[in-house]
Each structure stands twice: as structure tokens, then as C-alpha cells.
Structure 1
Amino acid sequence: MTSLAVLVVHALERRVRLRAPALAGHRRVCERIAEQLAADPACEVVSIRPMTGSVIVERSEGGLDPERLRARLAGLVDGAREDDGHPLGAPRPEGHPGPTRVARAVAHAFAGINADVREAMDYRADLGTILPVVFAAAGLAEVGATRRLPVPAWFNLLWWSLRWFMTFNPGAISEELNSGGGAQGQPGVAGEGPGEAAPVCDDL
């Protein structure tokens, strides 16, 4: 079996950031691996972002060995199993095909951009906060400039109706997914910031 990739993103003396793409979208697996890493006395603080598979390990005294941490995480990822017993990266049953390659690539790209925005904003805001404010301000500016309140287009109304249905009927959607009638989605984009306790599996 081919080992799943684990990369060292950056390394400081007391803080190492790794990335295991195979963990993306597997929150419960991330929680278990965070607990296993935190069992090591050298790993005082462990935080994992389920959306991107980013893993941060910190300690207050002494140094961290990036390659040792990478090898340790790689071993945990290779041995990890989903709730249904399938190894990470294994093909899913037809009833739960999971996200497509394009969907994963787009989600991964946006998650990376969102992580950069969070870091640039000192973890005070992200795309989920900034974009709604920008769009709302743009809408108000248009109304103020034209002195008109335009009627929404039909496709906007259709999209809003679908969005509201998904927001207020999560139980029905979950039942449909569990019955094999649809594909499983991925968790929302996770956040990471300073001062987190160990182990942490961050989420929105």
C-alpha cells in the first residue's frame, strides 16, 4: 500500500506546521489523530483543521523535530480508518461516492486562500466574514446611487429558495445522504489561531 503524503509546511524551533491532504474532510479521523499526537509529551499543543488537513504542533520549552513529527503523522494517517472501516483515500461505495475531483480541488484551493486571509487578518476575519460585508455594502451602494430597488432575477430567487431549504431542513438532507440517495459533503472551512488547547480539531 502506498503511503499517503504528509508534508512539512514550515518549521520553527517550537512550532511545526504539517499538512496531510488525506485528512481533509474527515473530522472524526482528525480528532482521533489529534488525540494520538497529543499523547506525546513533546507535543504540548496539537491543532488540526479538518477542511485542509493542516496540523500544527507546538511546545513551550525545548525544540521540535519536524522530520520526526512528519514520520509520526504519516504513520497515523496510513493506519487511520473512516467510520465505515475504509482506509483514507480508498474508493467509497456507490451509495456514497463522495466529492468529485473538481469539487475537492476547488474546495482545497478556497480553503488555502481562506487560511491565508485569516492569517493576514490576524484571525479576526475570513472570507466567510469579509465577502458578505463587501456584497452587502456593494448592494447598498448600488441602491443609493440609482435610487431604485431592482427586483431579483429568477435565478437569484431559485438559488435563494434552495439555500433556505438546505439551511432549515438539515434533517431531511442528512436522512437522504445516509440512505444512499446523495453524496456526502465536506465539513466547513476550519479556523486556526493562537492560544488553542491540545488537542484541538478546529471547525466553524
Structure 2
Amino acid sequence: MVKSIHVIHSSPGRTRLRLPWLRHAGKVAASLADDLLLVEGISEVEVRPFTGSVLCRHDPEEVDVERLLEEVRRITGADTVARPGEELPDGEPLLRSLEQGSGLARAATSFIKELNADLLRATEGHVDLGSLTALGFATAGVMNVAIKGKIESPPWFSLGWWAFRTFATMEELAIRNTPTQVRHDNGDAHPPGTSPPSAAH
């Protein structure tokens, strides 16, 4: 198995790496944070074994990205380093989608952000898409009440949607920290932080 390190994001003092194979290496995952914290200049390490995500906060004057990668390779015995923009190996798109969102969601987000930027540009920064949409729905609701002379009960699917939206908004922290189960090639599901059981020989 190739042990690769992927540099996902790096800014002065904050670096996120992904070690795709880490979810199958429980012992390494368990000790990686402690071993990295022994390096002077590294102040905080967060390891998520199931996704292979390793987030490090470090003093950029003492530990730059290259030094951090050197230490991770020394501790883990990793073989290669993949820089931002390089292709992830086969099997990683799922884990990337779990962390970054699906391709469709990213494409839709990009389109909406561009639309919002165009609207802000056209209104010289006075109106954004979120405010315009909220105002449009509010106006439509007021007009509906004015025309019909009464407030009607919303249809069930609207209630369902708002129930879901309220939950997603109020419980964002719980949702973000609840592990997602992913099925491995053998069809078994394993929660984050665990490795699939070894096949019997």
C-alpha cells in the first residue's frame, strides 16, 4: 500500500493534510498527534483517522510546511507527498466529497456565488442574493394574504422543508461533528476512527 500525504490547504501557521491510508492504520493514527506535538513549534494537532485528515497549527517561523511534511513522513513512514492540485488516488473522491461536498453541490455553489457577485456589482454592494430572495418571499407572502384576505396553512412539504432547515441551522455543530459511515470494498460500514476487521485467512 502506497502511503501518501496530500497537502490540502496551507497558510502561515495552519496546515491541513490528508493521509488516505490512515483509516487502515489505527496505531499510527492514535499516536500521530502526540508524536507531532513533541516537535517544537507545533502547538495543536487534530487527527481524524476515518477521513485521514490531519490539521496542524504551528509557529510558521519555527515549523514551515516543508518541515511539517518532513516530520509527518518521519513519524508515519509515508512514501510520497502530493501537492495541491495533484490528482487524488482512486477511491478518494468519496472521502473528498464527504469533506468538501459533492461535485454537483460545488458546481451549484460556484454558480450561485458568481450570480451573487454580479448582483452586488450591479447594485454597487447594496443588495445581495440572500437579502433579495428573502425580501421576494416576504413580499409574495404579504401579497398572497392581501389578495385572499386570510393566512392559509402552508402545504406539508413546506412544513417539512422548514423543519429540516431549522434543524440544520440550529444543530449545525452536531451535524458537523457526527461521523458519516462509509462502506468499504468488503461492503461493511465502519464509523470514523475505526478500521475494518481483518479478513480471516
Q: TM-score range by the shorter chain?
A: 0.3 to 0.5
- Could you say which structure has the greater relative contact order, defined with CA pairs below 8 angstroms and 6 or more residues apart? 1
Larger Rg: 2
TM-score (norm 1): 0.43
Between structures 1 and 2, the one with greater strand share = 2
